[in-house]
Amino acid sequence: MIKILSVGILAAGLSHSSISAAEKAPDSRLFELRTYHAEPGKLDSLLARFRNHTTKLFEKHGMTNIGYWVPVDNKDNLLIYLLAYPDRAARDASWKTFVADDAWKKAAAASEVDGRLVAKADQLFLTATAYSPGFPTVADGAERLFEMRTYTTTQGKLPALHSRFRDHTLSLLCKHGITNLGYFQPVAGQPAADDTLLYFIAHKDAASASKSWEAFRADPAWLTAKKDSETTAGGSLTVPDGVKSLLLKPTDFSAVK
């Protein structure tokens, strides 16, 4: 599993991505979350290569650029990005033609004259949950603060967690000014695929994020939903320290901001 654990506005009345799962067709695409660990001092060069070459070549070869981010506190020199494909066969075909593209080979070679840019890369294949709103475009184009959250459930409790998010959490997050974006679970066969929920949300800024979470956690409706879900499931839905959060800022070339 990826090692980093711990994305608008629609028409009036449907702000903060409050469309229910019943009102939209499920997103059947395959998603790939990739985390690049840049070599020391090479993050800017890596970002420049993506800005000037990589994202365009991804599109050329049939990949959909969803979002590109760097952590707000980026002590590990990370670039995190999300791609989408029609399916796994399309994904593999796209990467095969991408790495064989002379334009990519030329760009990679030119960028690595003074050494490689990426120390290692992590990947995680994902599918959208039935209640995932997706990544709608922000009407005013304003840049936002993003948050990637990963939940690890106790054994067998992932369906109960999905139910709580679908029936309660998303609407309550929206109520408190948080924009729901992509909600995912890992594709079967990957480590922790049966007990992981990973999702993206967005805030206006850090102060708004703090205020929204404080109000959400104190909301009687949330406290009731949490208590009822845990009573029905026979205990906590997540393992101790099972909720991880990573604050992210979009790159200048990110499709979603």
Q: b/e string for 14-35 if b means 16 or more Cβ within 10 A?
A: eebbbbeeeeeeebebbbbbeb
pLDDT at 1: 37
pLDDT at site 24:
66
Contact predicate 219/172, CB 8 Å: yes
Which single residue is written with the structure tokens 């095969």? 96
Question: How far, in Å, CA of 135 to CA of 82, rounded?
Answer: 11
Determine contact, residues 69/251, Cβ cutoff 8 Å.
Answer: yes
CA–CA gap between residue 238 and residue 173 (Å, rounded): 18
List, in order of start, the domains of the chain with CATH numbers: 21-250 (3.30.70.100)
Helices 206-218 and 220-233, axial angle in degrees (round to 10): 60
Query: What per-residue confidence (pLDDT) applies to 25?
Result: 75
CB 4 within 8 A of CB 81: no
pLDDT tens digit at each of 257 positions of the chain: 333 333 332 333 334 444 444 456 789 999 999 999 999 999 999 999 999 999 999 999 999 999 999 999 999 999 999 999 999 999 999 999 999 999 999 999 999 999 999 999 999 999 999 999 998 776 666 789 999 999 999 999 999 999 999 999 999 999 999 999 999 999 999 989 999 999 999 999 999 999 999 999 999 999 999 999 999 999 999 999 999 999 999 999 999 99
